[in-house]
Every structure is written in C-alpha cells, then in structure tokens.
Amino acid sequence: MINRKWFALLMTLTLPLIMAACSTVIDDGDFAQDKVSMGSFSPGKKSISPAITTGTLLPDPALVQGRLENGLRYVLMANTTPKNRISMHLDVQVGSMNEADGQQGSAHYLEHMLFNGLTHYKPGELVEYFQSIGMMFGPDANAHTGFYETVYDIFLPVNDSKSMDKALGVLKDYAQGALLLPEEVERERGVILAEKRERDSASYRTFKASMAFEMPGSMISRRFPIGTDEVLEKMDHALLKSFYDTWYRPENMVLVMVGDFDLELAKERIVKNFSDMVPRAPVHLLPPDEWTPHAGLKTFYHFEPEAGNTEVSILTVKKVDFKPDTLQAYQQRTVEELGNMMLQNRLSRAVSQQKAPFSDAGAYSGTYFHNAHFTVVASESDPEQWQASLAFLEKSLRRALVSGFTPEEFRRVKAEVIQSLESAVNRAESRESTRLSRKIVREINRQRVFQSPENELKILKPFIERLTLGDINKAFYSLWDEDHLLIKVTGNAEISGEDLSPGAVIAAAYKKSAARPVKPWVNDHLQTFPYLEKPVTPGKVTATTVLEDSGIVQIDFENKVRLNLRQSDFKKGEFVFKVDFGPGKQSQPASLPGLAMIAESVVNESGMGALDMDALEAALAGRDVSLEFGMDHTSFFFSGKADAKEVELVLQLLQASFVDPGFRKTSFDLARERYGQMYKELTMSPQGMMALEGDVFFAGGDNRFGMPGMEAVNALTLEGIKGWLMPFFNRAPLEISIAGDIVPEQVKALAAVYLGSLPMRDLTFHGTPSRQPVFPMGQARVIEVDSRINKGLVHLAFKSDDFWDIHQTRRLNVLAQIFSERLRKQIRETLGVTYSPHAMNEPSQAYKGYGVLHATVATAPEMADQVMLEMEKIADNLAHEGVTAKELALVLPPVLTHIRDMQKKNRYWLKSVMSGSWHHPEQLQWPREIYSDYHAVTPEELSALAAKFLGRDNRARLKILAH
C-alpha cells in the first residue's frame, strides 16, 4: 500500500492523546444509561475468538541467553549488518518508579552522572574515549531513563576482542563504578534543569496532567523521570549513592549484544567481567503500583492556550496484570490491531474527503506503564470544532460497535498485516544490529518474547487467515467497557457554560450525540490499480553507460528520461527509488510565499486523478510499496521504497503520478487547516519561531526559506498550485534513480514501457534561480515569543559557501563538528546552562555561493546574553587560534565510522550519488574518494577555513526569547 496513515497517526497523535489529561474531573454518573444494543452480537466482554489458541511463544533461535550466578542476565545475537560493529546495551530494569518520596529525579540524574566519572574514567575521559575509537556521543553512545528502566547504549565501531573487552568494562563501570563526585553532581545540576526546561511544552504539560486522571492513585503521575525542582535543587552525592547502591544490582540488569562478533568469545568475556559483581545494599523490591480504574462515565478538560489545536478523545483504561507474554495474548493483540485498523481507515477516509470536522484522527489500543491497557479513539481539530469532533468520534465508534465492520474492510486490513509479516521475512537477513538490539531490550522490559520474523509469520498468517469477521467484531466490542468511559477535551478550546462546569458541558455534548441513531457503514465502490492502459510501445534507449567502479548503470531514453540503477544486497528484498524533475522550491514565485509547502501536502494527500488517497491505499492493500512527493531547492521529486517483487507496480504508480496526478480541493483545504493548527503552536515557542522566521532571516528575507504566515497561506489557491506544478509534471526531464535488490535488465525493460513511453520532455525546462538568498551579514535580531515557558534560543550564524566545492564542504562539516564539541564542553559542561547545543554547516546545492554555518544553544532567556558572548568567544578563538590536532583526532574518527556505515546503505547511493547526477556528474566520482578525503583533513586546513568563515564580519545573530 502507499501510506499507512494509521501507523503515522498512532505515533504522532494517539500516543500523546493517551496521556492527555484534565484539571477538572467530574463524575457524571453511570454509563449504563448510554449502553448501546449490540444487535446480533451480544458477546460477553471476556469473549475470546475460537481461533485464539493457548501455548508458549518461542524466542528467536538466533538468541543466546544466559544468567550468571549473581543474577545478571545476558542476551546475545550474531548479525552482520553493519559488518564489524556491535550494538551493546546495559538494560538496568530500574527507573523513576523505583524512587521513593524525596528521590524524584534520582534515576535520571544518576544516568547523567555515569558519563561524568567512573572507576576507570575520570570526568571528561569517557566521551573522549568513545570519540577516539570512532563513536559519536549521541548516536553511538547514549542512555535513556524511563519509568521502569534505564538503558545505556554503546554502538561499538570495531569488533576485535580487545575493543569488546574494553566496552564491556565501560558497561561494568556503569553497573558498579560510578564516582558521583560532589563537584560533578553540582555541575550537572544546571544541565538537568536545562533539559527539564527544554522538554517543557503544552503537550508535555497535558501529558503530565493526564496520569493522575487516567490511572487514579497510580504513582506514575508522581514519578516523571525528569524529577521535581525541589529534589533536583538539593540532589547530592549521598542521595544518588543511596539510589545507586540500592537498585543497581546484578539481578536487575540484562546485558544485550547484537552484531558481528564471536558468540562464545562474548560469553567468555561477560563471565570474566561481570561474575564478581555483588549487591552493595540490602535487597529492595519495587513496590506495587496500586490504583483503581474509573467506573462510569467521566469527563476530562484541560486548557492549554499555547497548543495549536484541540484534542478530543474517547477512551477506556483497564488495569491488567504485568506478566510474561503468551501465545494467546500475542494473538489477542493481533485481533485488536485488526479492528482498530478498520476504524482508523474509516476515520482517515473521512478526513481525506473532508467529511469530518477534524484534521486528523486515530484509533489504537495497547498496554503501557506495565499494567494499564488503553483503548483510544481521538482527533485533532480547531477549537471551535470540539463538539462536532466529539459527536463524529462517538458516532463512528458506536457504528462500529453496533453494526461491526464489513467483509471488504476486513480483507483490506488482513492483506496489509500479512504483507507486513511477509516483508519482514524477506528482509530478515539485512536487519540492522541497532534496531534488533533495541527491540530486544524493549521486549525484555515488556516481558514479551523476541521472535524471529519467520516464526511471527508462521504463527500469525494462518491465524489471521482463519479469523472470521465475527471474531474481529466481538474482539472490538470487548475492548470497550460498557461500565467505564472517559471523554477528554484538551488543548486550546475554551469551554464554559452558564450553569455548567466544562466537564458537565462535555458530558452533555457526548450524551446528546449518543442519543441519536446511527446508520451502518456503507463501503464506497472498490476500485483497482493500475487503471491506466499499459503502453504498447516501449521507449527507445539512446545510450547505456556502465560505471564499473561503482556498479551504476545509466540508461537514456529518447524522450529525455534518464534511468540510474545500482544493484546491491545491502538490504535484501527491498529497493529504494527517487524521481527528480524540475527546479523545486527555487522556482516558487516571490509573490506566493508558502506555495511550495502547501503544494507538497496537496499532492501527497490527493492520490491520483482517478483515485483519492484512501481509495488508492485500499486498492493496494497487501502490496509493499510507499510513495511520497517532495521538493527541495534543487528539484521536485517522487521517492519511496518497495519490496523487490514490486518493480512494475512502482513504475505504474510513477506513470500515473505524471499522467494523471491528483489535485483535490479537499486536500487543499485540509492542508491549509493543518498548517493553521501547526502555525498557532509554532508561534508559542522559540523553536517554532526559528522555523517560522529564523531561516528566512538568515536568507535575507527570501520567502523560499522558513515558513509563511497565515495571511500568505490563506491567499493561496488550488489553481495557483496546479498552474505552478503542472508544466514541470508535463515537460521537465525525469531522472529516475533506483538502488537495492533489483535485476537491472528487468527494471530497464519495465521503465522503457511505463516512463520511456511518456511524451517527449524538454531538456531546457529545468529552470535556474531567478533570485539569490542574501546572508544578513552583520545583522542582529531579537524575536519575542508570548509564552509562559521560560525558554530562549540563541543562534549565531556564519556565511559559508555553496555545496559544490566538495573538498571544502567536507572540511566545513568537520569544522562544524569541532564547533559543536566546544559548545558542549564550554556551555553545557562548564556553564551548565543548556542541554543539547550544536553546530552544523548547511551549504546550498541550488544557490551559488550561499551557505550557512549555524551554532544553536537553547537556554533560559535571562542567560541569552551570556550564552551569546560565550559563543562569540568560541568563534573568535577558532578564527584566530585555529583548530588543535587533539580536537581533530577526537572529532574525525566518528565521522569516518559514519562514512563506512553510510556507504553500505542504498539511500546513500540513491540520494548522494545518483540523484541529481544528470546535472552534476561529478557526484558519481565521490564514493571512490570520500573516505580518503575526510581521512586526509588536517588541522591547518580547518584553521584556514575557520579564519575565512568564522570572523566577526561574517556573522549574523538571532535571539528568540519567551516573555
């Protein structure tokens, strides 16, 4: 299928809404008065499909598992993608829920402290060690703290026994060797408080407010991992040491290793390193989290004026046991997913056709926080639409409960899930070690069984095939407890009533909707794809070029379509593709700011001329292909990925995209509505204002950069979008690049049929920039944000250069890394006033001579001037004193590691080498010398570039401050 909206919405909408909350709780009586008749169903709430069987789940046979005598467990798995690397994790099954009163924030604070002094690493030495062996702090060495776990990650760049042994030594130091020096505890306090400030937002406040309501009496709402200001301000060695010794015990730890290593050697080294670990304090058990779910109908209101929209949700929360997974539970989750997918598809179709009063909606169920099972249907809308949204959700849910789903809907979701399982099997050999290891950790912490894709397919495919529609309808009904329902409205809707509280107003709106009858769902007419006639005469090939050193094949067709191909086994069973055409954002008219952004959304939401997006997804159910329209400053493009057997389908989709593109008024209206909601929220935060106004400031006011205001967006028309894009769709040359598990001759033949047969394209119809962005040399700007969150953003920028002197561009990238390191050491580690400072170089591929090297620090508004002064000092020192050999020796190895990994990925060859090579054939030579060129970087070269680009006369300054 084209685009699994239900999954995207789950990640962006439903999960935050599960945790949304209300400051006013009103019990409006028993829900029994609003029960619906289930017609012919009438299943019991505990109904289990006869298709569900009992039994045990078997772990992936590739796993090697064991337990030391002291209780520490290990899970190992050999995997060769990428080669010579090992993904290692110390999973400490201890989090903020292990904290007692007066310890809130200890688990997370401790996680930070383990990077600031260990038995074998003095403060500051550990990060430098990681860098020296080719690891980047963040992507390769990191940690996170949750409610029930703290996980430390090492992505080792080499797999020899000495490196493995040293990395295991680091993990052992994490487990028992924390120094917790008082001066380091004090210094880290500012970093923790800065992280707490950076994470604060309207959605986070809603998330926090939710817990006390949704899980009444649970400790969850009083144990957020970031902690409380009161405890953080007094955190000291003794408090951290007590928590560390109490909970960091071998029986609370699991060591996970996945990668290219010898399993027996790893077991031997684990035994050697960890067998002598002993507890340092008496045993403590995690106290049970006692809470009682709500009974009856309850409403929930939480007002956040800084939110961009209003979130309405209907949900039920049940308390469940936290216990090891079973085959029955695994199958039950699959049945629940199928039902939720069908409801999600109905909601998505209503959104895409603008038949719903909201701009997004989602349906999902799952278990969180160990023992809370959520079932949710939720939406996002403009604030004035909250009542209409609630009514629509209520009727959609009740329609599914009363009438069930249809056979056509069931066939679609069955095909999608089975296709996903089969694709996972096809790509099993190419799974990346980091993804595998992180999934293993997640499954361990949820008491789930990590299975092989083959076993999942073996279990679930026949199970899904023998399920009946009645099974799904019964399971969906059982998810919704007749005696318990939560109705929530959160976000920017101001709700009031003359004689009623907000909660009572919400309850009345719900009951009014529930009193009205609903009609059964009626399927739209099912359509098929492809619907265009297959071209009879393939296009004529005029030239074929084989680049032996890179394996790239270039085919030119007579109609001015070029095909770039590269076969690889980097990811078996999959290929990626990209079709570049036209000039992209650089051709956006100066008089129409925002045209590019809205146009991109319109094309993606419109589907094809004969099939809207939902109809297209339904027609492609069970087909493993994604397709997305996009644009940058160099081109428009269609891109995506697909199963290896779907080459013809991809080319049919691309043919239809150019011959019969969809430009729907409903998609245009939806794009503007969604942008309006996003715009409101962006104006309320420094990071949002950076996106809206910062980028355009650094481009001298060029409105092809940044994001437009609502007045400009409201002035756009669908006809204007079509008038801008269609000439390029019809006439611009096409450069098609495909990389991955393909048969080049097959792709060439099919491309000749579907794209080589298109009408003649015009080689001159590419366009050149009609205007150049201008860096605001020497300018400074302050933007004030009306927000109650005490946040600020300090941005120091430098004019650099365009992309095409690749030798210089690579060195500017390394210089930016060194700038980032100095920001980290001085502003985060020494001053303690920020959490994640960074610098990066952004050279333009479209505009000659234009590029910006950015340095960005988030901090408190009252610290902005001091931070800017420190950033200026760092830039001055680099410009005048240059780069040291030690700095380069620490920064360069991680870059080289990244390059080695990058060159073994199809997306690198697609996007950095083949795509755009028609206009810039020099790209085709880059792979052969990228590693050696980076390896040859010298401090003298970087110092010269720092002197050239980081001087005071080459800067612009921006501060965005909440007030």
Q: Whose CA is closest to 819, among 934, 938, 942, 931?
A: 942
CB neighbours of 857 closer than 8 A, spacing ≥ 6? 793, 794, 795, 823, 827, 834, 837, 867, 871
Dist. CA 886–CA 822, nearest whole Å: 12
- 416 pLDDT band, cuts 50/70/90, is very high
Interior angle at CA 334, CA 331 and CA 340, nearest 5:
150
CB neighbours of 463 closer than 8 A, spacing ≥ 6? 51, 52, 53, 331, 334
Give pTM, 2 decimals: 0.93
Q: Which two tokens stand for residue 441?
A: 């950790």
Sign of CA dihedral 920, 926, 928, 933: positive
Specify if 772 maps to a domain: no
Query: Is 559 found in the same domain as 509?
Result: no
CB neighbours of 647 closer than 8 A, spacing ≥ 6? 575, 742, 746, 747, 750
Query: Is 657 found in the same domain as 795?
Result: no
- Three-state secondary structure call for residue 90: strand
Q: What is the pLDDT of residue 38?
A: 30
Sign of CA dihedral 605, 680, 199, 18: negative
Q: What is the pLDDT of residue 70?
A: 98
For residue 150, which amino acid is it? T
Query: Is 665 found in the same domain as 707?
Result: yes
Specify if 533 maps to a domain: no
Whether the Cβ atoms of residue 121 and residue 173 lie closer than 8 Å to each other: yes
pLDDT digits (tens, 9 = 90+) for 757-772: 999 999 887 766 779 9
Would you state the torsion angle of the CA atoms of residues 11, 12, 17, 20, taken in this order, to the nearest 10 degrees? 110
Query: Is 631 found in the same domain as 487?
Result: no
Specify if 126 maps to a domain: yes
pLDDT digits (tens, 9 = 90+) for 342-399: 999 999 999 999 999 999 999 999 999 999 999 999 999 999 999 999 999 999 999 9
pLDDT digits (tens, 9 = 90+) for 53-80: 888 899 999 999 999 999 999 999 999 9
Does the N-terminal peptide bond of residue 530 adopt cis geometry, omega within 30 degrees of 0? yes
Query: Is 581 found in the same domain as 484?
Result: no
Would you state the torsion angle of the CA atoms of residues 478, 480, 483, 485, taken in this order, to the nearest 10 degrees? 170
Question: Please, where are the H alpha helices in 480-594?
Answer: 502-514
What value does the mean pLDDT take over residues 596-607? 97
Cα→Cα distances 345→104, 232, 421, 685, 753, Å: 41, 45, 20, 33, 34
Question: What count of Cα atoms within 13 Å lies in the side-chain half-sphere of residue 143?
Answer: 22
pLDDT digits (tens, 9 = 90+) for 882-914: 999 999 999 999 999 999 999 999 999 999 999
Give me the number of domains the chain comprises: 4
Query: Is 853 found in the same domain as 812?
Result: yes
Which of 267-281, 461-475, 524-538 comes out lowest in average pLDDT? Answer: 524-538
pLDDT digits (tens, 9 = 90+) for 19-54: 332 222 322 222 222 333 333 334 444 556 677 888
Quote the strand ranges of 647-779, DSSP E: 734-740
Q: Whose CA is closest to 338, among 422, 410, 424, 421?
A: 410
Whether the Cβ atoms of residue 638 and residue 580 lie closer than 8 Å to each other: no
Whether the Cβ atoms of residue 197 and residue 860 lie closer than 8 Å to each other: yes
Q: What is the pLDDT of residue 47?
A: 54
Specify if 353 maps to a domain: yes
Specify if 522 maps to a domain: no
Question: What count of Cα atoms within 13 Å lies in the side-chain half-sphere of residue 603?
Answer: 25
Helix (H) or strand (E) holding 280: none
Dist. CA 728–CA 330, nearest whole Å: 49
Residue 9 predicted with pLDDT over 90: no
Q: What is the pLDDT of residue 46?
A: 52
Q: Which two tokens stand for residue 679?
A: 């715009």
Q: For a pLDDT cut of 70, what percent of the chain falls above it?
A: 94
Q: What is the pLDDT of residue 287?
A: 85
pLDDT digits (tens, 9 = 90+) for 166-198: 999 999 999 999 999 999 999 999 999 999 999
- Three-state secondary structure call for residue 364: strand
Last residue of some domain: 274, 301, 321? 274
Cα→Cα distances 947→109, 749, 815, 822, Å: 39, 53, 11, 16
Q: Which two tokens stand for residue 869?
A: 């002064």
Q: Whose CA is closest to 828, among 199, 187, 396?
A: 187
Dist. CA 857–CA 643, nearest whole Å: 42
Whether the Cβ atoms of residue 159 and residue 84 lie closer than 8 Å to each other: yes
Rg (CA), the chain: 29
Specify if 492 maps to a domain: yes
Query: Is 453 found in the same domain as 339?
Result: yes
Query: Is 587 found in the same domain as 699?
Result: yes
Whether the Cβ atoms of residue 436 and residue 77 lie closer than 8 Å to each other: yes
Last residue of some domain: 720, 754, 788? 754
Q: Which two tokens stand for residue 592?
A: 């129409």
pLDDT digits (tens, 9 = 90+) for 317-338: 999 999 999 999 999 999 999 9
Dist. CA 63–CA 60, nearest whole Å: 6
Dist. CA 610–CA 242, nearest whole Å: 66
Query: Is 746 found in the same domain as 787?
Result: no
- 527 pLDDT band, cuts 50/70/90, is confident
Angle formed by the axes of helices 386-403 and 502-514, nearest 10°: 40
Residues of the domain holding 496: 5-56+290-514
| Region of residue 227 (left: phi > 0; alpha: psi -120 to 50; beta: else) | left
Q: Whose CA is closest to 582, among 728, 724, 726, 704?
A: 728
Going by their DSSP bridges, the two strands 73-78 and 150-156 should be labelled as unpaired
Q: What is the pLDDT of residue 20?
A: 31
Q: Whose CA is closest to 662, among 574, 751, 740, 722?
A: 722
Helix (H) or strand (E) holding 219: none
For residue 33, which amino acid is it? Q
Specify if 35 maps to a domain: yes
Residue 605 predicted with pLDDT over 50: yes
Query: Is 330 found in the same domain as 270?
Result: no
Write the CATH number for 42: 3.30.830.10
Q: Which two tokens stand for residue 105?
A: 């924030």
Query: Is 587 found in the same domain as 502?
Result: no
Whether the Cβ atoms of residue 758 and residue 539 lie closer than 8 Å to each other: yes
Q: Whose CA is closest to 286, among 110, 95, 102, 106?
A: 95
Cα→Cα distances 573→62, 423, 616, 641, Å: 20, 8, 23, 11
Specify if 521 maps to a domain: no
What value does the mean pLDDT take over residues 199-223? 92
pLDDT digits (tens, 9 = 90+) for 695-746: 999 999 999 999 999 999 999 999 999 999 999 999 999 999 999 999 999 9
- Three-state secondary structure call for residue 310: strand
Dist. CA 523–CA 469, nearest whole Å: 15
What value does the mean pLDDT take over residues 514-524? 92
CA 902 to chain centre: 19
Query: Is 726 found in the same domain as 679?
Result: yes
- Rounded to the nearest 5°, which phi and psi values hold at 83? -70, 150
Residue 539 predicted with pLDDT over 80: yes
Interior angle at CA 494, CA 492 and CA 500, nearest 5:
145
- Rounded to the nearest 5°, which phi and psi values hold at 684? -100, 5
Q: What is the pLDDT of residue 43?
A: 41
pLDDT digits (tens, 9 = 90+) for 76-102: 999 999 999 999 999 999 999 999 999
Last residue of some domain: 228, 248, 274? 274
Average pLDDT of the chain? 93
